[in-house]
Structure 1
């Protein structure tokens, strides 16, 4: 009996030691496992952080630091062969993640600027090298260079810089023309100023003179919230100016403004974004050339991009009556997307108004591209863009039964795709009467 009891006690001690050992091992194992999980998590966080920093560093080649552009050497990545190279308005995917907000589009619903019919100069600054002078321009004074701001190529202009497009002739502006570009403003009021001055005469002249020399006009002066132009007629001053307080933004906050200028034989119109800043019915000098210069307090960051000069400006309805269709190059799209740029609503609003005034009109909306990228890709994109224009007109109140869409891609060029201007003229939307 005593022996049996002793055996039971021994068995109990053995079991206690065994399970105690298991618990101890399990605790040690869990402790080690917990440490490994923690180490792995920390390593993952560090790795992802390093990846983000590396990616950010590679993307931000030229960065704005305290209002200055700091340039870094960039690695050039090869572009996919199934996508276009340098089109600003040709090729896209159906992804609409970056589509312009409804609120922004609504603010352009009264915009009525319509670009000229034929592009005579266009520079989207593709393939330009940062730090170098822009290859399609001439420097008249000061200092300007290519740069990149938020991954967009721009011409950075220091205070007092003045540049002009390289053209075959010294005087090249026709009787009817339009000029468009985007300008960056950093400071807006208070102790600072920033002006872009548009000159419409050759570089050897200071003003635009009438033939009898009794009348002349100075530069078109554009700032973030308005524009002005001074003319002298027989010693009598004529001052044209506008100021829109709603366009003022906080000091130091960079903002891009779209500048659009139209001239029709004697009348000027100047738009800043969707607002008409100037409308001068009668100027007595003939514009001949284009240059732009910058005046900024303490070298505020100044830059321009997306520069386009076009000639002609025949009314859309007149084109329709004469040809049974009209062609527009003023409907633009985001790069590699079918999303319509807000500046396109000048044309879209005109088309909508025309269709409202002529209820019998029906159109086939036909998209065309240049030859950059694969042919099948361009054809698909041109159809997507035609459909985007159709949707915009439906949103403007046009019955969808009055609209059809087609996409021709690069198959119907108007000219060989050999220059930026030729490509810009091939990128178009046609409205064909049904």
Structure 2
């Protein structure tokens, strides 16, 4: 054993001597080592800068494009962080403008597609807070209000028995759409079922006066959607001809009990009426709107203040969009070679697609998936508000966001789509009116 240990020690010493001899025979270039170390360090800094740049790009287009090779834990954390943020990328704080949006996936049955041409658009930015909207008539208390976190103004509707008419929605075409954001705010102070009601009405006479609590006076034909937010969150539909009820039915919508913005979408196709609250189709009435020569839109409020001296019950409306036409997107793209839509919506200055765009996106995806060899170019356009360069970048980011959703959500072949932005360079309407700007904010699909 002692001989074995001695032999091992001798071998160890021999190896060490050989290694030292070899090291001394080679000259170590200290300068070269330092240079390589500096280069490696610089490369690491460049890599870090690139990663940060990619992070900024991802953030700018709403996190739609994720870098690869992230761990499952990291992806779950990102998902959790996104779900906890509101539409402005801020933590929810209870303000209406910062409320988190409904999940895009929840709109899988949403089939609302707005009309081709916008006839009117109103975000009330042209009106001063506290004033009656310039283009509205009212028999009650209507005034412009601001809401914390919101990028636009709202018209606040309240009153004991009041009616509110936007004067630009008159003589509605047989095929048209109206959609808007709505907030209903009220205190649950012993309100009885009949003491609080808001209405969305399509009526045959714009000059109807507040004679009764219902719109179905003898001079009128039309349909009312009466909203009772408390206590049962019920929505009544009443269709009538010259004051006589033809149809009456009710539905429920639980979100009325939570004062967050609700997106309301109404589609008229001659006598057929559809109305959606967020992703839910509340009514689809094939004979809901009786035949009449003209129709107008108005809102109503019935508030009994006996149990609420502060009159806290109010309805707020903004982003009111009125459009004409019955879109035929399949024919436009396949036959005419160009599809133009204003139904893909974004927050101001953002490339995050709003979930109420789902009806349009589903139809586009169906066309592309049914015609798998069809190649298209997605082109984003903006209005002229803001900086030219930023509008160009925004239009590009929006086009890319749409392409990404079509690929990731609807399984459209990515190789058959390209995306680009034109910014504000190709207007199709005047940028001097709200409706003109809304027409210029569009997305085009061009057949290649």
Q: CA deviation at 1:233?
A: 6.4
TM-score (norm 2): 0.67
For 1:258, the equivalent position in structure 2 comes to 263
Q: In structure 1, how many angstroms separate the alpha carbons of the residues matched to 2:171 and 2:412?
A: 39
The reply to whether residue 199 of structure 1 matches residue 202 of structure 2 is: yes
Select which of 344, 347, 354 maps to 2:367: 354
User: Per the alignment, in what secondary structure is the counterpart of residue 107 of structure 1?
Assistant: helix
Q: In structure 2, how many angstroms separate the alpha carbons of the residues matched to 1:216 and 1:126?
A: 33
- State the Cα deviation string for residues 22-64 of structure 1 (Å, max 9, x = none): xxxxxxxxxxxxxxxxxxxxxxxxxxxxxxxxxxxxxxxxxxx
For 1:284, the equivalent position in structure 2 comes to 290
Q: CA deviation at 1:127?
A: 4.1
Q: CA deviation at 1:261?
A: 0.6
Q: In structure 2, how many angstroms separate the alpha carbons of the residues matched to 1:415 and 1:234?
A: 39
5 Å-filtered alignment, 1:55-74, equals none
Which segments of 5 or more consecutive residues in structure 1 lack a partner in the other structure?
Answer: 1-91
- State the Cα deviation string for residues 177-208 of structure 1 (Å, max 9, x = none): 10111221235988453322323333224799
Relative distance call for 1:362 and 1:200 in structure 2 (3 A) is: farther
Q: In structure 2, how many angstroms separate the alpha carbons of the residues matched to 1:204 and 1:103?
A: 37
The reply to whether residue 389 of structure 1 matches residue 394 of structure 2 is: no
Q: CA deviation at 1:318?
A: 2.0
User: Per the alignment, in what secondary structure is the counterpart of residue 373 of structure 1?
Assistant: coil
For 1:409, the equivalent position in structure 2 comes to 423
Select which of 231, 241, 244 maps to 2:239: 231
The number of residues matched between the two structures is 334
TM-score (norm 1): 0.69
Q: In structure 1, how many angstroms separate the alpha carbons of the residues matched to 2:260 and 2:274?
A: 22
Moved more, 328-337 or 125-134: 125-134
Which segments of 5 or more consecutive residues in structure 2 lack a partner in the other structure?
Answer: 1-58, 64-81, 88-99, 306-310
1:362–1:403 Cα contact (<8 Å) kept = yes
For 1:70, the equivalent position in structure 2 comes to none
1:240–1:278 Cα contact (<8 Å) kept = no
For 2:142, the equivalent position in structure 1 comes to 144
1:383–1:405 Cα contact (<8 Å) kept = yes
Q: CA deviation at 1:95?
A: 6.0
Q: CA deviation at 1:432?
A: 1.1
Q: In structure 2, how many angstroms separate the alpha carbons of the residues matched to 1:231 and 1:95?
A: 43
Relative distance call for 1:231 and 1:409 in structure 2 (3 A) is: same
1:367–1:383 Cα contact (<8 Å) kept = yes
User: Per the alignment, in what secondary structure is the counterpart of residue 296 of structure 2?
Assistant: coil
Q: CA deviation at 1:236?
A: 7.9
Q: CA deviation at 1:157?
A: 1.0
1:194–1:297 Cα contact (<8 Å) kept = no
Q: CA deviation at 1:277?
A: 0.8
The reply to whether residue 430 of structure 1 matches residue 444 of structure 2 is: yes
Q: In structure 1, how many angstroms separate the alpha carbons of the residues matched to 2:183 and 2:244?
A: 34
1:113–1:347 Cα contact (<8 Å) kept = yes
- State the Cα deviation string for residues 201-240 of structure 1 (Å, max 9, x = none): 332247999xxx9994342324555533223469985334
